[in-house]
Amino acid sequence: MDILELVQANILTPVVLFFIFGIITARIKSDLKIPEAISEFLPIYLLAAIGLHGGLEMRKTGFESMLVPLLVAIGLSILMTLYHYQILKRLGKFNIFDSYALASTYGAVGAVTFSVGLSFLKNQGITSEGYITAILATLEPIAFIIAIFLTNMAVSKQTQIKKQTFVKNKDNTDLDTINVEQKKKLFQVLRESITGKAIVILLGSIIIGYAIDIDGFAPIKIVFDDLFVGAIVIFLIEMGIIAGHRLDDIKKGGVFLIGFALAIPTINGIIGVLIATYLGLSIGGAVMYGLLFASASFIAAPAVLRHAIPQAKPSLYITSALGITFPYIIMILLPIMLILSTTFHNMESINLGSYFVEAWK
């Protein structure tokens, strides 16, 4: 199918239309909003549904096939966070705190984006490997930990330089206490992001999904499978409203940030699809794998980063992730990644085919 055609078809799905609808209601200053309890409940529901789905699928595929994609994903996530930082710091001229915060927002995985990706594939009738959900749960804390670790290093280096210039016969005890405090902070962030509700519900549901198998899933299927897309639709009204209220902030971020928020997901997503194809994931699996790297976190990231890097401006990273990257991914990048994934898979099978022909001769 033509890319434009697929993008067009994708925009005319309830998920995307209701998101746009949410933005419009915010722009016309309507008082429409989703009740607070529901908008708090929905992310938990979505993560539980994703987790169960992943657990069920993992039972079919087993753990062994997951190891290589998982390790590659961790490596990629670290690399990407580092190069985001270099781009933001050197080209974007952001300060060190904003650079690290933005770098890890884009290095982290967006669970909402992930749910929309699953519903997009469901809509196309394509399945994906369940273990990608487990990779999602593993990747979630990693980008934060790297960014926080690097920020702490940078800050302690700065204080060290300051100390040395102020106090000539340097007193190491002060520096030691700073280091100990930073280690404590790093450990605390690590603990908080692992015991945070997103990871806990995701991992819990994966394990439960794995344990109950298809038979156990049958009685709850109506809630966690059939209602899944409908729940995303309701949640996206809320996301649209919040994004709509923030549209004015986008201008404050500047042209560079807009460009970054569009280019980085595209590049990362395509790299992800390519690598997944190379690793032998299915067409749908490669799209979801690419989505892990394309997406930016706008719910989990602010909660962690506000504590870990309080000097960074949250309006920058929330606005760019929710206001620019998220709409771009669900409207345009998802169909593009699907087409690329299909093309890469076809190319590979052709190559393999010709290889076999060569071998026969």
Nearer to other proteins, 73 or 301 (CB): 301
How far apart are the C-alpha atoms of 115 and 138, rounded to whole Å?
Answer: 16
CB of 116 to other proteins, least distance (A): 17
Nearer of residues 155 and 267 to other proteins, judged by Cβ? 155
Q: Which is nearer to other proteins, 192 or 225 (CB)?
A: 192
Minimum CB distance to other proteins, residue 306 (Å): 4
**Those residues with Cβ within 8 angstroms of residue 328's Cβ, 6 or more apart along the chain or in another chain:** 261, 262, 265
- Minimum CB distance to other proteins, residue 197 (Å): 11
Q: Nearer to other proteins by C-beta: 72 or 299?
A: 299
CB of 251 to other proteins, least distance (A): 14
| Residue numbers at the binding site for other proteins (CB under 8 A) | 36, 39-40, 242, 245-246, 299, 302-303, 306-307, 310-311, 314, 318
Q: Which residue has the tokens 């962690």?
A: 304
What is the distance between the alpha carbons of residues 257 and 245, in angstroms, rounded to a whole number? 18
Q: In angstroms, give the least distance from the CB of 77 to other proteins.
A: 23
In this complex, which beta carbon is closest to other proteins, that of residue 163 or of residue 307?
A: 307
Cβ distance to other proteins smaller for residue 271 or 299: 299
E-strand spans in 177-297? none
Choose between 53 and 246: whose C-beta lies nearer to other proteins.
246
Q: Which helix (H) or strand (E) holds 313?
A: none
Beta carbon nearer to other proteins, 230 or 310: 310
CB 124 within 8 A of CB 341: no
What tokens were used for 146?
Answer: 């790297």
Cα separation, 71 vs 145, in Å, equals 16
The rounded distance, in Å, linking the Cα atoms of 200 and 192 is: 11
The CB-of-40 to other proteins minimum distance in angstroms stands at 6
Q: How far is the CB of 115 from other proteins (least distance, A)?
A: 17
Shortest approach of other proteins to residue 210 CB, angstroms? Answer: 30
CA-derived radius of gyration, the chain: 22
Angle at 244 between CA 5 and CA 101, to 5 degrees: 95
DSSP single-letter state for residue 63: S
How far apart (Å, rounded) are the C-alpha atoms in residues 219 and 124? 25
310: exposed, middle or buried (Cβ count in 10 Å: 0-12, 13-18, 19+): exposed
Extract long-range pairs of 342-345: CB within 8 Å, 24+ residues apart.
342/283, 344/273, 344/274, 344/277, 344/286, 345/277, 345/283, 345/286
